[in-house]
């Protein structure tokens, strides 16, 4: 499993090295990410790719109320965090970030 930051780093690096992957990422981001990371993305989760330009800068803010529980804070302090696996992301405490979401 890899954490969220590592997953993003790998996706961006691949897109910078491979024009075909970059095109696929822009055209079909959900399929490109799922295939590249070897994960299943629940249908209720959307994936959007945006590209900066010399005249347009995108800033991605974390979700509102994106607070860690005490257990997650303890886990982060211990060096763990969000991990990506073939079943999707999971929280540091071992629970799924997508708990309660069903793949419809």
C-alpha span between 43 and 58 (Å, rounded): 25
**What are 61-89's pLDDT values in tens digits?**
877 775 666 666 666 555 544 555 555 55
User: Does the pLDDT at position 93 exceed 50?
Assistant: no
Q: Which pLDDT score, from 0 to 100, does residue 60 have?
A: 86
**8 A C-beta contact, residue 42 and residue 88:** yes
Least confident of 5-14, 45-54, 68-77, 84-93: 84-93
Q: Which pLDDT score, from 0 to 100, does residue 5 have?
A: 86
Put simply, whether the predicted model's pTM sits higher than 0.85 gets the answer no
**What are 11-38's pLDDT values in tens digits?**
999 999 999 999 999 999 999 999 999 9
E-assigned strands of the chain? 2-3, 83-85, 88-90
Handedness of CA 55, 14, 28, 48 (dihedral sign): negative
């Amino acid at each position: 499993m890899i954490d969220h930051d590592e997953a993003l780093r790998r996706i961006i690096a691949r897109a910078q090295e491979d024009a075909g992957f970059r095109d696929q990422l822009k055209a079909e981001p959900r399929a490109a990410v799922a295939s590249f990371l070897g994960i299943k993305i629940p249908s209720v989760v959307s994936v959007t790719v945006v590209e900066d330009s010399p005249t347009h800068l995108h800033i991605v803010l974390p979700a509102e109320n994106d607070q860690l529980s005490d257990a997650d804070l303890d886990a982060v302090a211990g060096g763990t965090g969000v991990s990506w696996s073939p079943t999707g992301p999971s929280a540091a405490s071992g629970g799924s970030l997508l708990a309660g979401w069903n793949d419809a």
